[in-house]
């Protein structure tokens, strides 16, 4: 393989406002992952889909940017990224879900609040390897709504590696018995009958599994606990507020309630996904990688 034009890791560190020491993480963790991806890609006669799972603030988007813009081009592979967040349903569609199914669906995030069919169409188009062009969706979190199609970036195909990242990428559903008891105050007070959490689980068991079946290699970024995720997310919110980002931040109470929407599935993933992830990065309390475990698998499992 010959190198493709790419951005040097040092330049990306500046772009992401990261400390210079982050180069150690790039060399010890991200570069070996790039080579693992290249090895699996070489076994296929089509583009490869990489699923990147990680809780809020775990560094998914940063990792994918280093892979797509620097490390994979270095070894001759073209790459692009799609975030599950950019597949959120429109605000109007979620308002309909909130009205027709359960009020908690007004808040984006959990399975059932994404346009899974659009994700499937995009992945299938990439996997086909046919030349052409597609648009990648974008979600405007500031307005809590889908960005207009004219703002969606164009992606020229074919491409070697497609990185599909998101907080519940690759997640599996629970058995019905595990949903009976509420796990936190949000479920106890606002979903006492279990309607919302059962609908989330059914969505995950259905269309989401069909979408995740297209993943060839599953990468997981695992923080030590849900409490560490919540604490790091709160720190991010304080930094955002300190930066003067008015209208884009939540106070402590709102953030706490928001995180409770994610708790059940996050804890479930922490318990069961490490054993089946193809590449597992162990993170410390500050969401920095401190270890890497790889499982020998074939593409597509």
Model confidence pLDDT, tens digit, residues 5-44: 889 999 999 999 999 999 999 999 999 999 999 999 999 9
Tens digit of pLDDT for each residue in 184-221? 999 999 999 999 999 999 999 999 999 999 999 999 99
Q: What is the CATH number of the domain that holds 230?
A: 3.40.50.300
Q: Is the pLDDT of residue 299 over 60?
A: no
Quick check: 124 pLDDT over 80?
yes
CB 86 within 8 Å of CB 139: yes
Domain that holds residue 155: 9-167+177-281
Q: Does 41 reside within a domain?
A: yes
103 within some domain:
yes
What number is the average pLDDT over the span 40-49? Answer: 97
Contact 78, 170 (CB under 8 A): no
Total domains present in the chain: 1
Structure tokens at 192: 């006492």
Does residue 110 lie within any of the structural domains?
A: yes
pLDDT value at residue 4: 77
What CA–CA distance (Å, rounded) separates 234 from 17? 19
Which residue intervals of the chain are DSSP H helices?
9-15, 22-25, 31-41, 60-66, 72-74, 91-100, 116-128, 185-190, 195-203, 209-212, 226-242, 252-272
Whether pLDDT at 301 is above 80: no
Is residue 190 assigned to a domain? yes
pLDDT at position 235: 76
- pLDDT band (50, 70, 90) for residue 2: low
What token pair was written down for 31? 């570069």
pLDDT above 90 covers a percentage of the chain that reads: 84
Q: Is residue 292 part of a domain?
A: no
Chain CA centroid to CA 19, Å: 23
Q: What per-residue confidence (pLDDT) applies to 201?
A: 98
Burial class (CB in 10 A: 0-12, 13-18, 19+), 58: buried
Question: Does residue 208 lie in a domain region?
Answer: yes
pLDDT at 153: 97
- Confidence grade of residue 180 (pLDDT, cut at 50, 70, 90): very high
Note the pLDDT tens digit of each residue in 236-288: 777 666 766 555 677 888 889 999 999 999 999 999 999 999 999 999 998 89
pLDDT at 1 over 70: no
Around Cβ 232, how many Cβ atoms within 10 Å?
Answer: 19
Residue 230 resides in a domain: yes
Tens digit of each residue's pLDDT (9 = 90 or more) over 126-179: 999 999 999 999 999 999 999 999 999 999 999 999 999 999 999 999 999 999
Residue 153 lies in a domain: yes
What is the pLDDT, as a whole number, of residue 241?
Answer: 67
Model confidence pLDDT, tens digit, residues 61-115: 999 999 999 999 999 999 999 999 999 999 999 999 999 999 999 999 999 999 9
B/e letters for 115-128, b = 16+ CB within 10 Å, e = fewer, are bbeebbebbebbbe
Q: Which residue has the tokens 């479920």?
A: 187
């Amino acid at each position: 393989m010959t190198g493709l034009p790419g951005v040097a890791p040092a330049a990306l560190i500046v772009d992401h406002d990261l400390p210079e020491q982050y180069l150690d993480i790039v060399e010890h963790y991200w570069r070996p992952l790039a080579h693992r991806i290249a090895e699996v890609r070489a076994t296929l006669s089509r583009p490869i889909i990489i699923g990147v799972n990680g809780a809020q603030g775990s560094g998914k988007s940063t990792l994918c940017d280093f892979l797509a813009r620097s490390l994979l081009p270095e070894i001759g592979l073209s790459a692009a990224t799609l975030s599950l967040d950019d597949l959120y349903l429109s605000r109007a569609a979620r308002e309909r879900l909130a009205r027709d199914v359960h009020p908690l669906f007004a808040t984006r995030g959990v399975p059932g609040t994404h346009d899974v069919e659009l994700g499937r169409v995009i992945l299938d188009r990439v996997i086909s390897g046919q030349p052409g062009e597609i648009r990648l969706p974008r979600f405007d979190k500031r307005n809590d709504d889908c960005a207009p199609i004219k703002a969606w970036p164009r992606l020229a195909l074919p491409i070697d590696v497609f990185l599909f990242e998101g907080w519940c990428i690759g997640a599996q559903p629970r058995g019905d018995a595990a949903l009976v008891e509420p796990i936190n105050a949000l479920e106890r007070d606002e979903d006492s009958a279990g309607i919302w959490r059962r609908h989330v689980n059914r969505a995950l068991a259905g269309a989401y599994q069909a979408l995740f079946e297209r993943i060839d290699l599953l990468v997981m970024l695992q923080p030590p606990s849900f409490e560490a995720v919540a604490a790091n997310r709160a720190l991010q919110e304080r930094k955002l507020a300190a930066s003067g980002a008015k209208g884009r931040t939540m106070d402590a109470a709102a953030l706490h309630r928001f995180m409770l929407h994610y708790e059940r599935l996050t804890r479930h993933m922490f318990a069961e996904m490490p054993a089946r992830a193809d590449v597992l990065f162990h993170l410390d309390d500050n969401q920095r990688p401190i270890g890497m475990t790889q499982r020998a698998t074939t593409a597509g499992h």
